[in-house]
Amino acid sequence: MTIPEKLQQLRAAMADQKIDAYLIPSADPHQSEYVADHWKGRQWISGFTGSAGLVVVTAGHAGLWTDSRYFLQAESQLAGTGIQLQKQKVPHAPEHIDWLAENLLAGARVGIDGRLFSIGQVRHLQRALERKGIQLQIDLDLLSGIWTDQPPLPPAEVFEHELRYAGRSRGEKLREVGQKMATRGVDGYLITTLDDIAWLLNLRGQDVECNPVFYSFLFLEPGGGRLFVEEKKVPAGLRTNLQAAGIELQAYATVGDFLQALPAGKKVLIDPASANAEIYAQLSHAALQEGDNIVLPLKAIKNETEIGHIREVMVKDGVALLKLYRWLEATLQERSVPEAEVAERLDQFRREQGDYFGESFSAIVGYNANGAIIHYRPEYGSCADIRPEGILLLDSGGQYLNGTTDITRTTALSPPTAEQKQHFTLVLKGHITLAMARFPVGVNGMQLDAFARMHLWNACLNFGHGTGHGVGFFLNVHEPPQGFAASNATSRGTTAFAPGMFTSNEPGFYLTGQYGIRIENLVLCREAGETEFGKFLEFETTTLFPIDRQLIEVSMLTTDERQWLNDYHREVYERLSPQLDERERQWLAERCGEI
């Protein structure tokens, strides 16, 4: 079916249900950022493949709301579909709600599939619509009846993430969560977020591309719990290990029946930001206590074992990148290279490093103008051919058993212009300023975000995405709660940093139709010392790969900035060179020289 044909069938289903507007989010029943193909209804109905967005369909209008990271991509993919791009001013803000309130009449009915919206989102939507006399129906799955080739849920096996990587046993983690449950006075806790379940139980899966998680729910009670997962996905030995920790298995599809059968008045903790509306309705008879996710802050603080592995995995990743760039330089002397081939080759070089599990996200290989498309994904047949001229932006990451990586480098393939050097150096200055920052305990991501933007701001320039996100440990590359963000719309802006948090530092600058610049390293928060003014924190840069000196206008750097860059390149060489042959060491030495 074409997109217009799909919209026609959806509108017919809406008319049958007397629904005036239907909302289709980028979500699954666990509020995951990235979802299995089974749950990609928004992509199916619209053709837009970006990870963030929401479609609203009425009888006379269809719109896709997404943020500035995806404007160029969405404009291209929505062309000719009958779906209009609605540009969000603030990432993640529910601006579609204002549109509904303004464009629907009193008495209109809005429908959603309650499995795909958190109860917090539903309440916000209900309040806004009720003020206009608009009704909301939350139990409507209108896609499954028309999505005839919807993929099944993934069948991949769940596996153990060994203690030598995790650093803490599942029993230890479960006891800590149990203590926090007791402090909150609850005797039940429903965990719905996939990465929290995987981390807590030291399990990993293969249900979501690039994210080593598996579809499940976890219900904890004093002394044990119940994992709702397709039992055939759990090997017998692993099932025995889980039972030894007090965790019994039950079929994924039975979670609703289990919740409805709980005793009336049972004190159950849920997180309204992640528990979906259908789950909430199934627990309506219980004594619900709504509260913040217990697991989230525990997972965000990496333990010493994890931190040790993070430092090791950066060497693997740096070696893989070095091999990729050497291959690219040599190949460009003979022929042009499709952007998609660069992504494939990098995946191969990472695989050679050992303990590699796959990409942590689809590599962004943006040559010249494509570098300005912030979440660009190259595909054969439509991607650009890279030639030895211009600028290449490469943003990529790997999933290893001993850590998750995410790195961006912008490289000049020919002598850069003065303007390109100026823009690159402004971005670099912001990156270094944030990397060098020292700040009091309690400072949050919105406060620190300005460090990375200040030099661009001084030139009346800016970029439209957040400066950084939390990163998981062999888990999701985007891991809440912390990050660097220009607003307080999400936890990335409001969460205070703490030692052990692992976060990306990735300011950028983009000229539509010309080029994009981004420099990204991953940083660990650590203690910096204590004075009469309190405790202070700082960052340790962990990523190991040279920053292209061709693009630097050295006269724009301060003495401290030059010193930081020289120290960084010295560490890159010292850490990577023992893993290289003589030619590779020479290549690296040339790119890590002092400025």
Class of domain 159-295: alpha beta
Q: At what angle do helices 304-332 and 582-591 cross, to 10 degrees?
A: 90
- Please write the tens of the pLDDT for every residue from 344-393: 999 999 999 999 999 999 999 999 999 999 889 999 999 999 999 999 99
- Sequential DSSP letters for 17-43: TT-SEEEEES--TT--SS--GGG-HHH
The pTM (predicted TM-score) of the whole model is 0.95
- % of the chain exceeding 90 in pLDDT: 96
Least confident of 15-19, 95-99, 428-432, 445-449: 95-99
Question: Which architecture does CATH list for 301-590?
Answer: Alpha-Beta Complex (3.90)
The rounded distance, in Å, linking the Cα atoms of 310 and 575 is: 13
- Please write the tens of the pLDDT for every residue from 41-60: 999 999 999 989 999 999 99
For residue 81, how many other CB atoms are within 10 A of its CB? 18
- % of the chain exceeding 70 in pLDDT: 99
pLDDT band at 543 (very low <50, low <70, confident <90, very high): very high
Q: What is the mean pLDDT of the chain?
A: 97
Give mean pLDDT, residues 215-222: 98
- Parallel, antiparallel or unpaired: strands 62-66 and 54-58: antiparallel
User: Residue 91 pLDDT more than 70?
Assistant: no
DSSP state for residue 497 in the 8-state scheme: P
pLDDT at 388: 98
Give mean pLDDT, residues 26-32: 97
User: Residue 92 pLDDT more than 70?
Assistant: no
Q: Enter the tokens of residue 84.
A: 């209009």
From residue 309, give the alpha-carbon distance in Å to each of 87, 202, 406, 428, 478. 40, 16, 15, 27, 19
Q: Enter the tokens of residue 399.
A: 């999933």
- Please write the tens of the pLDDT for every residue from 473-525: 999 999 999 999 999 989 999 999 999 999 999 999 999 999 999 999 999 99
User: Residue 90 pLDDT more than 80?
Assistant: no
From residue 501, give the alpha-carbon distance in Å to each of 26, 480, 537, 543. 27, 10, 11, 15
Q: Looking at the chain, which residues constitute the CATH 3.90.230.10 domain(s)?
A: 301-590
Residue carrying structure tokens 């009469």: 532
The rounded distance, in Å, linking the Cα atoms of 534 and 594 is: 36
Q: Looking at the chain, which residues constitute the CATH 3.40.350.10 domain(s)?
A: 3-137, 159-295
The rounded distance, in Å, linking the Cα atoms of 443 and 495 is: 8
Residue carrying structure tokens 């998680």: 213
User: Residue 93 pLDDT more than 70?
Assistant: no
pLDDT at 489: 86
Q: Enter the tokens of residue 68.
A: 């500035």
Question: Which architecture does CATH list for 3-137?
Answer: 3-Layer(aba) Sandwich (3.40)
The Cα angle at residue 301 between residues 297 and 306, in degrees rounded to 5: 140
pLDDT band at 572 (very low <50, low <70, confident <90, very high): very high
For residue 315, how many other CB atoms are within 10 A of its CB? 16
The rounded distance, in Å, linking the Cα atoms of 585 and 167 is: 33
pLDDT at 350: 99
From residue 204, give the alpha-carbon distance in Å to each of 30, 32, 301, 476, 549. 16, 15, 19, 11, 39
The rounded distance, in Å, linking the Cα atoms of 215 and 234 is: 12
For residue 187, how many other CB atoms are within 10 A of its CB? 15
User: Residue 278 pLDDT more than 70?
Assistant: yes
**Residue 505 and residue 382 in contact, taking contact as beta carbons nearer than 8 Å:** no
- Please write the tens of the pLDDT for every residue from 302-327: 999 999 999 999 999 999 999 999 99
Least confident of 99-103, 203-207, 407-411, 539-543: 99-103
Q: At what angle do helices 304-332 and 339-351 cross, to 10 degrees?
A: 130
The rounded distance, in Å, linking the Cα atoms of 528 and 191 is: 35
110 phi and psi, to 5 degrees? -105, 135
